[in-house]
Chains A and B, each alone.
Chain A
């Protein structure tokens, strides 16, 4: 079993829809949780990060962490074609090593 599980999709939604992405993990000691966005033929870029449990909102993006269920989510409201990308979750105890999910490919149709 992988340490971090993420459904690869692909996920296709119409413009304006809410995109819901999630990851599950097995190591209950993870403390910091991140979401990366990767456009085609580019490197991943850090989109959001959260510490421990709870929600964090940044514009149209909301990240949620449920440590009791070992489950994290990313929601994109009012999705735009420019949100079409692969989204990777990542998490760490509190050190140099990040554990990544495999990534979910999202297409937002105009």
Chain B
């Protein structure tokens, strides 16, 4: 996916361990988002950022924290992973201050498949 990369692509971790997922963009977009995608639930917003050090909670933020120290990087941390956090995590970026409807759309990364055992 041009301009946005997620790492790692796959991870298996044990219950109770901390985990950090990274999202890196080269588009200089202001907004960055973390979603999780689960069967039957679709995409659910975890946290989002509207600038460096500016973040806010989404609908499923419990157990997750985020940080954005640079425009290009948005980190998602699971403080103490649980089996319910096994999911596919997507980062997305957008620049809604741009011109036209297309600027409102999100560009998604390829996802991180996280398994908590």
Contact = CB atoms under 8 A, between A and B. Distances in A.
B42 A96 contact: no
Contact of A42 (B40, B41, B105, B111): B111
B106 A51 contact: no
A41 B108 CA distance: 12
Most chain A CB atoms below 10 A, which of B1, B31, B102, B104: B104
Given A43-B1, A46-B105, A96 B111 contact: no
B85 interface: no
A94 B42 contact: no
A101 B90 CA distance: 16
A42 B106 contact: no
Interface residue range, chain B: 20 to 34
A75 interface: no
B110 A42 contact: yes
A98 B111 contact: no
Interface centre among A90, A96, A100, A101 (most CB of B within 10 A): A96
Nearest to B105: A46
Contacts, number: 59
17 contacts: A34-B104, A42-B110, A43-B92, A43-B108, A43-B109, A45-B108, A46-B102, A49-B101, A51-B101, A88-B43, A90-B105, A96-B31, A96-B50, A100-B42, A100-B43, A102-B41, A102-B42
Given A42-B111, A43-B111, A98 B42 contact: no
Contacts of A88: 42-43
A95 interface: yes
B25 interface: no
Nearest to A31: B101
A32 B98 CA distance: 14
Contacts of A102: 40-42
Q: Which 4 A-B pairs have the closest CB atoms?
A: A43-B108, A102-B42, A46-B105, A96-B96
B65 to A, nearest CB: 20
Interface string B84-117: 0000001010101000011011111111010000
